[in-house]
Amino acid sequence: MMRHRLLALSALPLLALAACNPGPPPAPPLPPLSKAAPLDTADASFVQTLNEADLVDIALGNLAATHAGRNDVRALAATVVKDHTDDRTALGKLVSPHDITLTASPMREDQEMIDRLGKLYGTRFDSAFLTHIKSGHVSLDRSLAQEIATTKDGDLKTLAGSAQKMIAGHVATAEAIAPTRRTVRHRHR
């Protein structure tokens, strides 16, 4: 009997240690996911074009907050900033598996144009901003249409389609609020 008690008492610390055991060791980390196939040259070029357009329109839209003379131009600019920021975020998520990092600042030529518009205020800024939205998006629309027609990447095609609808909305609004030029005829007496 004494022997059983001694055996039980000596086993008690082992049982306590066994109860503290957290269980099996953690599983090893999973291997990294395989990277997506690289984009072809045309798709990579399109990504750069769309990113550049987003950067320029975000910068110009932000300028409008302090430079625009009309509230409707400021409202359009706020929409442009939000839409292009959302577009740029979606673009970044789409290309990150392809090991592509989007540039964070516009190219030199575009930055010079942004700086020129940054020196304008009131109606001059409004006119330049609306002109940029109306005419500057023409070449982007061509790039979007070409990407939709030629890319084999379904996600990129979807993003291009969304961007095309977005800029069409911006152009329509810019055309609606842009002042119309009237021809004034002078009467000769």
CATH for 41-177? 1.20.1260.10
Q: How confident is the model at residue 27, as a pLDDT? A: 78
Q: What pTM does this model have?
A: 0.76
Average confidence score pLDDT of the chain? 86
Residues in the chain: 189
Which one is predicted more confidently, 37 or 126? 126
- Residues 87-92: contacts with CB under 8 Å, at least 24 apart: 87/50, 87/54, 87/159, 87/162, 87/163, 87/166, 88/51, 88/54, 88/55, 88/58, 90/159, 90/162, 91/47, 91/50, 91/51, 91/54, 91/159
- The residue behind tokens 């932000």 is 62
Q: What are phi and psi of 64, to 5 degrees?
A: -60, -25
Residue 173, pLDDT above cutoff 60: yes
Residue 151 per-residue DSSP state: -
The first and second tokens of residue 36, run together, are: 């997506």
In this structure, what token pair is assigned to residue 9?
Answer: 């008492």
Q: What is the pLDDT of residues 134-157, one digit of tens each?
A: 988 888 888 899 999 999 989 999
Better pLDDT: 18 or 78:
78
Query: What span, in angstroms and rounded, lies between the C-alpha atoms of 34 and 37?
Result: 9
pLDDT in the model for residue 179: 79
CA 65 → CA 71, 79, 152, 165, distances in Å?
9, 11, 39, 24
pLDDT in tens, 71-85: 999 999 999 999 999
- Average pLDDT, stretch 90-110? 91
Q: Which residues of 83-93 are buried (b: 16+ CB within 10 A; e: fewer)?
A: bbeebbebbee
Whole-number CA gyration radius for the chain = 30
